[in-house]
Every structure is written in C-alpha cells, then in structure tokens.
Structure 1
Amino acid sequence: MSIEYHADPDPSSTSPDRLLFPGHSKSLSGIAIRAFCLGISLTISVGLTLTILFYTSSPLWRLPYFIGSLSLFHFLEFWTTAAYNTRAAEVGSFLLTANWPGYAIAHSFAIFECLVTNTLWSGARWLPFQLGSLVCLAGVALTIIGQVVRTMAMVQAGPSFNHLVQHQRNAGHVLVTTGIYSVFRHPSYFGFFWWALGTQLAMGNVISFMGYSAVLWKFFSTRIKVEEDALVRFFDNEYTDYRRRVGTKIPFVP
C-alpha cells in the first residue's frame, strides 16, 4: 500500500500560517533579511565611528554615528515587540517604512546637512568657547536616554503596547501606570522625541534640529490627543486621574 502526497503548489495561499510566507505581513524571510541588513549596518557604523574618532580629527564621525543610531533603533523596535508583545510582531514592527516618504526625506536631509557643513566648514565654530563640544555630548546623551526610555516603555507595557493608536480596547489591554510610566505618561513618545533631537545635536545640524523639533512636536501633540481620547473611553476616571498626576515631559504637551 502506498500513500500518495500532493504538495500544495502555493502553500502561502491556503496554509493557516500563510502570513509567515514571503510577501505577507509576518514573512519570516522578510524579517530575517531586515535584521541581517540592520546588523551589518550597525556593525559597519560602529566601526567607522570609532575609527574616525580615534585615528583622525575629522568631524565626519557624526555620519556613521547617526546611521548606527538609526540601525539600532529600528532593530530594537522589532526585537522588543517580538520578545514582549510576540503576537503583534510583524515586518512592519521594524518601522522602516513608517510615515513614508517623509521619514526617509527627513533623515536623508539630516545626512546631507551634516556632510555639507562638516566638509565645507569643518573648522568653523558655530558657538563660542567649548559650547559646541558640550552640545554634541548632550546630543549623544539624549540619544542614549531616549532609546533606553523608549525600549523600557515597550518592555514594561508588553501586550498593551502597539505602534498604532488603538480605537477599540482589546481583552489584554491594561492601563500601565507604574515603573517608567509613573515618570512619563507616554514614555515611548518621550523617548523617540528626545532620541531624534539628540541625534541632530550630536550631528551639529542646525536646520534639521529645528525641522525635527517642529515636525515631531506637531506629530506627537496631535497623536497624544487622539490616543488619550481613546484611553479615556477605555479607562474613564482611572486614566483621567493618571493624566492629572503624570506629565509627558515633552515641551508644551502637558
């Protein structure tokens, strides 16, 4: 007796795990290639940053520093989601194409501004005394702080964290008010806001810093209002009391 097996010519169209196949939202191959490329980008960027800093006096270390910061940010967006909100993890969790193409244009301009100013006016001092170096160090510090706060927020919120504003309360959706959330009402937004501004301070980008500040403040102030309208519906007085106690720590967003 023999058993004849007919392979499905297109398993991605019928399998209950079809979302894991190439071209779908949870494509394992798509996730793998993105993680691989981000790892290469981060490794090269760290190597170039340290090499330029230790073996030259060129200010162009800022370029690989920025690219490395971006690579780490996008990798951690996916990894943290996969580790602590596993069911929600998908290719889009890397946020590589979020708010496209504006996001890509902003970062491309930041790279262009840094390259031009540090090539054509590499010896210019925009600030008196040693303030330029202090601003740069402050930028690096803000980049680190912003990344740590955002990642901690995603870890603590777990399944309650989502990259998209939720307009319906899910079964596992709880209001988190302890830990990092007892200090920042929206720590993930605080983290991204100051992370992004920190990168521009570290790069010495005057125009991009002002542009990032305006765009990000507008984006988060609007998003927070929309999100909090939903949270008040979900949790009523519990969220209202929490909002009264804890601020966002984003300028002019109470």
Structure 2
Amino acid sequence: MLVWHGQVSLQSFFLGFGILSYFIVACGNYSLVAKTGGAMDWLVDHPWAYCATFYVLVNVILCIFFHGADWQVAVRGCFLGCSCGVGVIISILSPIAYKVFGGYIVVLTIFHYSEYLTTAIGNPRTLSLDSYLLNHSVAYVIAAVASWIEFFVECWFLPEMKKLWYLSIIGIVVCLWGEIVRKLAMLTAKTNFNHIVQTKRDENHELVTWGAYALFRHPSYVGWFWWSIGTQLILVNPFCTVAYTLTSWSFFYERVYVEEKILIDFFGEKYLDYQKKVGTGLPFIKGYQYTRIRIHEN
C-alpha cells in the first residue's frame, strides 16, 4: 500500500492537473451560455488568467486540508500537476513554434513527480521532499535556464526551426525510454536505491544484478542520461543538445568511477564478477577498473 505522503502527493498532483478543466469550462461556456461579459466569459477568453486563478484556489484548498509536512508534500505535488496541465494547454493553444515547449514542460514535470512517487513505492524509508528533485543542484537549474533561453532566442530569430516536429517526437521517444529504464531501476533496486551515493554499507544493502541491472550496471544513470538529451531534442535546441550530452557524460563518467570504487569495497569479488558480465550502459564509460597487485616472493 502506498505510504501516506505518497497518497498526499498523488491526490495533490491530480488536483493540480485539474487545471485542464479550462477546456471543459471553455466548451460549456461557448456552447451553452450566451456571451454576457461576465467574469467566467473573461476567464475563458484569457486562459492564462484562468490558470492563475485555478492555481491560487487549489492552493487555498491545500492550506485548509493539509498542514506542516503534509502541506509541504501537497504544495509541491500540486505545483507539478498544475505545471503538467499548463504544458498540455501550451501545446494546444500556443502558436506552432511554441507548441514543443508545452511538450517539454509535460515531460519535465512528469519526471520530477514520478521520482517522488517511485521512491514512495519502492523505497518509502528514504522518502523526503528532496525526492521530488526540485532542488537537485545549482548546476541543474543553470542547465535548465540555459535551455529555456536558447529555446526562446531561437523562437524569436529562427521560428521555422522550432517547427521541426519530427525532432520533438524523437525527443519524446528518447525521454520515454530514459524514464522507463530509470524507473525500472528504482523499482528493481527498491530499498537498495538512493538518490545520494552511499559511502557506508547498510546492513540490508545487497548487490542487485537482476531486472534492469542485468542489462546495465547503472540503469538509473542510463535513464537519466538519455532523458536529459531527449529534453533538448524536444525543444529542438542544437547547442544545448550538444552541451547536455557532453556535460551529462562527464558527470556520469566521474560519478560511476566513484560509485564503483565504493561498491567494490562493499561487495568485493562479487561486484568484480558482475563488472565482467554487464557493462555500465553508458557510452564509452567502463567504470572503475580494479587492479590486483600481487607480490611474488623468491
């Protein structure tokens, strides 16, 4: 059964996703109600005002029903649900060149929310607000902002480039692949998975070599690597696609090296045998190469 904070986040996400009620209200208002110049008519004609009003109202509801830690979980889940719904609205109502940004928002918010929900399902003991990964790192925020700047600059000067919808479709497929691999890794590892590299072995920590780990030694990194690249393909961002690829590769090269060194300390020969059978899954990254030094006595 899903833990309490998992339930709170799920309810709040779908409450926020209810922002798509805009389309129901719009259809009902246009087909059943004559234009009277009322407040609802004005909101229907101004979708972003409707979204802002909806977001304020649902947050008032959250303040009434949730308090303390529950509210902290709920307000983040609601924010991601609303953002996901706004992404759908953008992809439908915006000019062609900007539609792909809506798809990007949907992919981005689903990633962050699914990180929390998957942790709640697979490893609830480590569940915290950090599981949303909304405060991942300064570098992550800088990378995201850089991709937004590139997108809008190119939209302004090269709008036709953003209409290459087939590249966005490829990006969505790549992101979907990355999401599936990463979430399978988290659900396979369960209590052995942690968003933070562990330097001390827990007594219940075991080496996982089945499921997604039978295909890649680091399936969660494989998933994130391809997901990050896919987001830039969705936006048709040539510069950030290259930058994300190189930066992600460099980050995981170092991360895998450090983590495998720790895993060899944890599991010894067992991990070395696993290393021989299964690759990292990341291009041109072999991981930590353990060297045995033997002293021969004469």
> What corresponds to 1:109 in structure 2?
146
1:48 matched to 2:90: yes
> What corresponds to 1:63 in structure 2?
101
Between Structure 1 and Structure 2, how many residues are aligned? 220
Partner Cα separation in structure 2 for residue 84 and residue 124 of structure 1: 41
1:162 matched to 2:194: yes
1:32 matched to 2:74: yes
1:183 matched to 2:215: yes
Query: Aligned with 1:123: secondary structure?
Result: helix
CA pair 38-106 structure 1, distance change in 2 beyond 3 A: same
Structure 1 residue 28: Cα displacement = 2.4
Structure 1 residue 47: Cα displacement = 3.0
Greater share of residues in helix: 2
Structure 1 residue 118: Cα displacement = 2.3
RMSD: 1.8
> What corresponds to 1:5 in structure 2?
none
CA pair 148-207 structure 1, distance change in 2 beyond 3 A: same
Give the fraction of aligned pairs with identical amino acids, expressed as a percent: 35
Per the normalisation by structure 2, the TM-score is: 0.70
Q: Deviation per CA, 1:62-90: give whole Å up to 9, x if none.
A: 21211221111110111111111011000
Structure 1 residue 185: Cα displacement = 1.0
Question: Based on CA coordinates, which of the two structures has the bigger radius of gyration?
Answer: 2
Residue identity in the other structure for 2:107:
S
* Structure 1: tracts of 5 or more residues without a match: 1-20, 127-131
Structure 1 residue 125: Cα displacement = 8.9
Structure 1 residue 124: Cα displacement = 4.6
Q: Deviation per CA, 1:165-222: give whole Å up to 9, x if none.
A: 0011112211111111111110100000000101111211111111111211111111
CA pair 86-124 structure 1, distance change in 2 beyond 3 A: closer
Partner Cα separation in structure 2 for residue 41 and residue 76 of structure 1: 14
Q: Deviation per CA, 1:90-120: give whole Å up to 9, x if none.
A: 0111111112x22111111111211221232
Higher mean displacement: 110-119 or 145-154 = 110-119
* Structure 2: tracts of 5 or more residues without a match: 1-66, 287-298
> What corresponds to 1:123 in structure 2?
160
CA pair 244-51 structure 1, distance change in 2 beyond 3 A: farther
Partner Cα separation in structure 2 for residue 29 and residue 147 of structure 1: 27
Contact 2:123–2:193, Cα closer than 8 Å, also in 1 = yes
Residue identity in the other structure for 1:32:
A
Partner Cα separation in structure 2 for residue 79 and residue 233 of structure 1: 31
Contact 2:233–2:241, Cα closer than 8 Å, also in 1 = yes
Contact 1:146–1:190, Cα closer than 8 Å, also in 2 = yes
> What corresponds to 2:40 in structure 1?
none
Contact 1:63–1:115, Cα closer than 8 Å, also in 2 = no
